[in-house]
Amino acid sequence: MNSYFKVCIVDDDEIYQYTVVKALETIGLKEKIQVFSDGDEAFTFLLDNIDNPEALPDVILLDINMPIMDGFQFMEEYVKIKPKVGKKIVIYMVSSSVDSVDIERAKSISEISDYIIKPIKPGELRRIINELYEEGKL
């Protein structure tokens, strides 16, 4: 596995952050994890590093419901800057919402690779990362 692979978790739930970080650590990504508590923090980080692709994540696990800037607001802003981002970033919407409106809205945004219902399990994370490698997306 590529040791330079970076995952960004954007979620305000500290327990979820902890469990995903632990799951990622078990598959060898311990030092390559970024955690943000809301979409605004994550978006600001992207803007600050837009010209530094090595600092940017390869994958973003994005929650919907967060304070300040939610996942959909983050995506609205990301779409605007995507042409300037110096690398491909794969984005997964990860939410406890099973509302078909949220799921369809996420699926209508072409920059979102998939919608994953929480809790995300370690085996599912491993499967996602392996698929990204096999498909040449990372």
Instruction: Please name which of 52, 58, 61 lies closest in space to residue 5, comparing C-alpha atoms.
Output: 58
Mean pLDDT by 10 residues, the chain (138 residues): 75 93 80 91 96 92 95 97 92 93 95 92 83 74
Q: Which CATH superfamily is domain 7-134 in?
A: Response regulator (3.40.50.2300)
- Pairwise CA distance, residues 104 & 98, whole Å: 10
**Amino acid at position 128, single letter:** I
Task: Please check whether residue 11 is in contact with residue 61, taking contact to mean a CB–CB distance below 8 angstroms.
Answer: yes
CA dihedral 122, 66, 113, 116 (to 10 degrees): 40
Q: Decide: pTM greater than 0.85.
A: yes
